Amino acid sequence: MVEKSKVQDSSELSPSLNSKGECKTILYVDDNEDNQALVKRIIRDEINFELISAEDGINGIRLAEEHLPDLILMDINLPGMNGIEVFRRLRKIEATKDIPVWAVSANSFPPEIDSALEVGFDQYVVKPINIRSFMERIHQELD
């Protein structure tokens, strides 16, 4: 696990427009670089929305406030502040309280999924990510 706080911004990606002609931004908060790389490839190559990412909750909150993304993908098991606590803090901030937030976790047990949804996450994505389903769900959310 990465100890230090690190933010990655995909500014090298040029955002394109969705089916309604709007540029959409997705914030992905995950401390695993391989997971970040996979989501970046999916977003860049298949969906063509702008992606920004953070490796911890503190920077995730900061980027959410700065960029006001259209969707936040939140790993549950983050170092320091876990994804559930980050989610709760985002819901208390006026500017971010209505942004859809999806829980992302390798935990596929129904009680864990139900628990995350009860906390208020809009959707739950199980890792490893099913790319086809993931893309369909993002299009449904953002189009």
pLDDT value at residue 23: 82
Q: Is residue 1 part of a domain?
A: no
DSSP line for 88-132: HHHHHSTTTTTS-EEEEES---HHHHHHHHHHT-SEEEESSP-HH
Q: Is residue 9 part of a domain?
A: no
Q: Is residue 33 part of a domain?
A: yes
Residue 117: CATH number of its domain: 3.40.50.2300
* Burial (CB count within 10 angstroms: exposed 0-12, middle 13-18, buried 19+), residue 1: exposed
Instruction: Please say whether the dihedral angle defined by the alpha carbons of residues 39, 44, 46 and 50, taken in this order, is positive or negative.
Output: positive
Q: Is residue 10 part of a domain?
A: no
Q: How many folded domains does the chain comprise? A: 1
User: The whole model's pTM is what?
Assistant: 0.85
The ranges of the chain with pLDDT < 70 are 1-21, 46-48
pLDDT value at residue 8: 40
Q: Which domain holds residue 97?
A: 23-142
pLDDT in tens, 108-143: 999 999 999 999 999 999 999 999 999 999 999 998
Q: Is residue 66 part of a domain?
A: yes
pLDDT value at residue 48: 64
